[in-house]
Amino acid sequence: MTTPITGGCACGAIRYECTAEPVVSVHCQCRDCQRFSGTGHLFIMIVPKAAVTLTGEPTFYETVGDSGHAVDRGFCPRCGSPVVGRYAGFPDAVGLAAGCLDDPARFQPSVVIYSRSAIPWDVMDPALPTVAKMPPARR
Amino acid sequence: MPINFSGGCLCGAVRYEGTTEPVVQGHCQCRDCQRASGAGHNTIMAVPEADITITGDLKFFDKPADSGNIVSRGFCPTCGSSVLSKNAAMAGMLFLTAGCLDDPGVLEPVMAVYTSRGNDWDRLDPSLMSFPEMPPRVPGQG
């Protein structure tokens, strides 16, 4: 990887930097991600936690996912930007919100999840693999 | 035709409801909307403030848009949901985010703005009216 992945919230209070490539990049159309983002989906890059440096203090809000595991969505308490996610089912990973990337053109989504709650106008690339809920675990 | 709508944030601290004829419905791909949504665009429905009842408290973040007009983005301080925004140039209007509607299907986007800032991974319905920045005059506003 040539340069780290960098990004941050709208007001600059929270910044992230990641020195590893995403494991997977996900458009999530679940209802919780819709309310959190305000639009039809959230675009999250899942990266190894050990490769991420976060500056600033996001506020986390916890929900319980279908799996029964906690999902913590982190946002900037000053400007409200969704910034990071933590997943009890994947403790070694964190999610970085793509809208907060300094260079959003750098990454491509690899899968669409929770299409069962897709909004009709929320158009996805038809070439992307799509699953109704979560993909089966691969470990 | 007027529609009934209701919605709220992820944790339920902020709720709203009303009946209205939406003035503008569409997507915005500006960089500020990308950061505010965490995705490639925001999706909104503009409704007159008089047509909506809101319970709970939002926190607002103000930032000037390209036009110089202040855009105030309201989010829930508990769960961070992006609920609505206001634009100083359009006093009396609230821009409700689609994702917080209880039935986001009541919203029917007709346009996309700031498509010049769009990312190639961010797909929108190609049949929508689209504008590289803001349209010269907002449709429906005369």
Helix (H, G, I), strand (E, B) or coil at A16: strand
pLDDT score at A1: 58
Alpha helix stretches (DSSP H) within chain B? 31-37
Nearest to B99 among A34, A43, A77 (CB): A34
Token pair listed for B87 = 């634009």
A139 vs A17, which has greater pLDDT?
A17
Residues B142 and B138: their CA atoms lie apart, in Å, by: 8
Residue of B nearest to A81 (CA): B36
State the Cα angle at B29 between B76 and B85, rounded to 5°: 30
pLDDT score at A106: 85
Give Cβ neighbours of residue A130 (< 8 Å, ≥ 6 apart): A111, A112, A113, A115, A124
How close A117 comes to chain B (CA, Å)? 10
B57, pLDDT greater than 80: yes
B139, pLDDT greater than 90: no
At B2-46, the pLDDT tens digits run 999 999 999 999 999 999 999 899 999 999 999 999 999 999 999
Nearest to B104 among A34, A77, A125 (CB): A34
Mean of pLDDT values over A45-62: 98
Mean of pLDDT values over A108-114: 96
**For chain A, domain boundaries:** 5-117
Q: Is the pTM of this model over 0.90?
A: yes
At B81-94, the pLDDT tens digits run 999 999 999 999 99
Residue of B nearest to A124 (CA): B123
CATH number of the domain located at residue range(s) A5-117 in this protein: 2.170.150.70
Average predicted confidence (pLDDT) for chain B: 94
- Name the residue among B98, B102, B92 with its Cα closest to residue B112: B98
* Domains, in order of start, for chain B: 3-117 (2.170.150.70)
Best mutation target among A32, A39, A71, A101 (most B Cβ atoms within 10 Å) is: A39
A66, pLDDT greater than 90: no
Nearest to B37 among A11, A99, A125 (CB): A99
Residues B63 and B100: their CA atoms lie apart, in Å, by: 22
